[in-house]
């Protein structure tokens, strides 16, 4: 699973350097620093309110830290860029709450994920001439790969609002994946799912990592899933980084054990 096991690690794809974020007098993130490596699954875990989604929002440009840098591929400081420019660099995300167009079909929602790659103008696109037509065919072919990967051929023409919750979460993953990102941010993709749906989603995340070589940053509360599929885990507590390393290192980290034993009703980290 890990491209780091037993090898000298490659240069980080992302350097998160001393990132701090405040809302008024409330500190959401304090001096967060760790690296994310290419083609790995990096989990971010922690209790509710620990700052996990705030950190994803800083990476995707929705929040601007009051200090620190987020370097993407060594050259781009995402703190200085607007969200649409970050998306064009190859950073895509899904959201904790489903953010799909409920009255549109699955296929149309996925095609919207290709918009950052579309080069034809409004005039040529509207008249469906030449380049615009060829471009749409190419984007449709890519979306078909996403549909096959996520096994949603049977619902491609269904309106999103008519789908069960688990399938909507799968479609949202597909829309983010349709951007063909180099870095994919997933905010609780398995929240609210039953065990079978979680198993399917975990399998899709692994397939995206292993077959597409996409770097994935994953927020997830199911520790069994996190420990099974992640290459590295960062642990936040009250906006501070209290541990970062391999799943094996996190399991025996005393600060992490203390935080979770105090908050998870006495349940230790899964083996």
The mean pLDDT values, 10 residues at a time, for the chain of 271 residues are: 59 97 93 97 94 96 96 95 94 80 90 68 48 67 92 94 92 92 94 92 95 95 92 96 95 87 47 47
Task: Confirm whether 97 is domain-assigned.
Answer: no
Co-location of 202 and 80 in the same domain = yes
End-of-domain residue from the set 154, 178, 202: 178
Distances (CA, A) of 207 to 153, 188, 212: 17, 17, 7
Alpha-carbon dihedral sign for residues 11, 223, 198, 107? negative
From the number of C-beta atoms within 10 Å of its C-beta (0-12, 13-18, 19+), residue 3 rates as: middle
Residues 217 and 248 in one domain: yes
| Per-residue model confidence (pLDDT) at position 89 | 95
CATH number at residue 75: 3.40.50.300
Which of 129, 162, 178 is the C-terminal boundary of a domain?
Answer: 178
Rounded CA-CA distance 128/134 in Å is 9
Residues 119 and 198 in one domain: no
Count of domains in the chain? 2
Rounded CA gap, 151 and 170, in Å? 9
- The structure's pTM equals 0.85
For residue 137, the enclosing domain spans 102-178
Q: Is residue 95 part of a domain?
A: no
Query: Quick one: which of 101, 40, 34, 100 has its CA closest to 71?
Result: 34
Residue 133 lies in a domain: yes
* 96 assigned to some structural domain: no
């Amino acid at each position: 699973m890990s491209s780091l096991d037993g090898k000298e690690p490659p240069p980080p794809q992302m350097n998160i350097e001393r990132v701090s974020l405040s809302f008024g007098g409330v500190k959401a993130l304090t001096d967060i620093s760790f690296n994310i490596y290419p083609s790995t699954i990096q989990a971010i875990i922690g209790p509710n309110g620990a700052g996990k989604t705030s950190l994803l929002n800083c990476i995707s440009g929705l929040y601007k830290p009051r200090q620190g840098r987020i370097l993407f591929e060594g050259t781009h400081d995402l703190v200085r860029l607007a969200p649409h420019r970050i998306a064009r660099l190859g950073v895509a995300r899904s959201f904790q709450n489903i953010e799909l167009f409920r009255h549109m079909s699955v296929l149309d929602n996925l095609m919207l994920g290709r918009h950052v790659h579309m080069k034809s103008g409004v005039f040529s696109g509207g008249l469906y001439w030449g380049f615009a037509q060829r471009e749409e065919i190419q984007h449709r072919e890519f979306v078909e790969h996403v549909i096959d990967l996520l096994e949603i051929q049977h619902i491609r023409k269904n309106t999103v609002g008519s789908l069960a919750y688990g399938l909507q979460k799968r479609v949202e993953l597909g829309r983010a994946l349709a951007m063909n990102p180099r870095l994919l941010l997933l905010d609780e993709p398995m929240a609210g799912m039953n065990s079978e749906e979680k198993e399917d989603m975990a399998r899709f995340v692994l397939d995206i990592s292993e077959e597409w070589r996409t770097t994935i940053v994953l927020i997830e509360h199911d520790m069994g899933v996190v420990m099974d599929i992640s290459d590295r885990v960062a642990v936040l507590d009250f906006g501070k980084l209290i541990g970062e390393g391999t799943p094996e290192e996190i399991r025996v980290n005393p600060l992490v054990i203390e935080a979770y034993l105090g908050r998870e009703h006495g349940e230790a980290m899964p083996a």
